[in-house]
Chains A and B, each alone.
Chain A
């Protein structure tokens, strides 16, 4: 397809009229001849051959061709040899929000995307992908219709890292397969990237500081909290900034931190205990604003309290003794407990109705003797850190049946571990004899007990990084709310709940019958906050000079000028011969 870059030059074709006026058709030539004898009587109506007619006006044709070729060359025509399908992968990680000279890196990326689109032949198709923690396919556009104004409304920056490899693979897997994949990013191109990937760098090195860590520890008296905010200056200039602690938009404290270039500083504050989440904010104007805030959830008032009841079990007591952060009480019904551990109990104790229960029922040893453990529900969070498969245990056969879906481990065909919910409480049922099971002296046993206590007390992890899926082993979640108050899709399983859309940093609230559970999702400062590394390429370029174009748009102006010169030389040579 032929396109004219300077179509206004076609007005110069009016010069053809001038040429025709100057070289109007000459009058009929007269010629003396020896005799008309051979011409007389011939049919004069016979038309001359086309070649004769062309030869008659050859000078005029050559001159007109010269003018047409020159005018076309001035119009700068471009011909597209064929259409191309390309993919644009735009990095939408947190660092693309960094500002330099009043412009964000993402804006530069959109400019580069526009330049690439303009360099493509008309008719080409552009598939646009936004690469954040997840890849979002915006759609497919024609090169002529592609406008960054349209795209910019679809661009949402993440507070996490970009998984560019996944985005490239997704673009590559599209049908039709793109002939080239342009990746517009502020990160450096992997050395092992394949040939169909063209890396377009944006962004310049910039000074930035970020809160890289925020921890909240409750005091021993449970009435105070200790906050540690770690601030890192990634730039080359010393800085001093205030760290502000807020709880529910209320200013709690402020502390000034000195930040020499390339180093980290900490703000340590002792504050009265609060419930829920707190926010630490670095009050400093730097290149990237998103990493100046970090969130943390204030831990529960105290460590889980375990109450050991029933028969004595040295192996169980030994396992509980090595668990950190858990208070173990024995044989006292007056003590409050978060989890009740009962050895020799066939039924769930009725005391402490809200506490979780770890049962070790009495039962009779299995006739099969020692048997290897087989996992029947390995994806259960209770077994996440326990390598119990293959361990030898002596199963105990109990008269209390178990619901098959609740069974997590079997040995010799008998259930040896089950986890289920009984009303508002969780129950873990261990049906093997620790005293006669080799597993009891293996590391798997205390880990299994620790994991059971954690699951029973629901002490899930409450701090995550933006982009990572959040998973909690809490059932009964009715909804999840994001940092901006909007509802976030969540997936509920029989073991808990998970949320994938965590690209924005902030406090996510999981609604449960017992109240909201706050979860802090923080910016991915480890990979995104250091803006000091130089990037190759000129981030301020305003043309596609640094971009390898798809070799399908050919400029014809030089070829047309050469052709015009050839025509001019031919006309001059013919004129010289004619005069000779």
Chain B
């Protein structure tokens, strides 16, 4: 036992707690012990008495230590710090609190971080898709913008005529399920369909679909009859579920943007993007 180190540690602890009286007691005991040790005790009874007194001093120091610092005096007599293994075996009360905090908070942080990264990458991908779809929309619209409004979109000549003035080839197909037709927009020189326009009754455009490598990316649904959400653009995720719904007015101004988060639930986001209405819908676009 390193007695001097023990008393030094004890005095420091007592001082930090403002227990100056106890500190003075320790100093007195320390001094008394030093005196007893320095005095040569030749005779047996004297030596035994001194030994007994030294033991009593140690007991008293132990009491002071336990009552003020909460540890035995012996444990203060070493400056050896417990290693990592020691700390794991006998963690302090403070470290147990930190341990619980870490256990409680860390998974939350980790999950939030992972979700954020997944969301960010997903968002990036979505933005790419959105701009691709918008670019495709404009490309298709450009092809028909300066042409005459077709009287019957399902007639053979209209698609060929429009296709000739467009960067995209337009192929007319008859819908097998309905009496109406659809136009397929193809990259020149390839059979890759990049978009499809579905024509409904009264020669009205009902739906436009956008494709990439055969995968449906998004579709525009048109609602006639003065609806606020004149053009509804729905984006699809990898599971072909609607992931974003954009609403545009007839003037092409965004009304709302809704994101699917879980199940069939959507959250509302602000949307500043503009997306024009296809020119073939209204006669004035052809002028």
Chains A and B come from one and the same complex: no
Interface residues of A (CB under 8 A from B): none
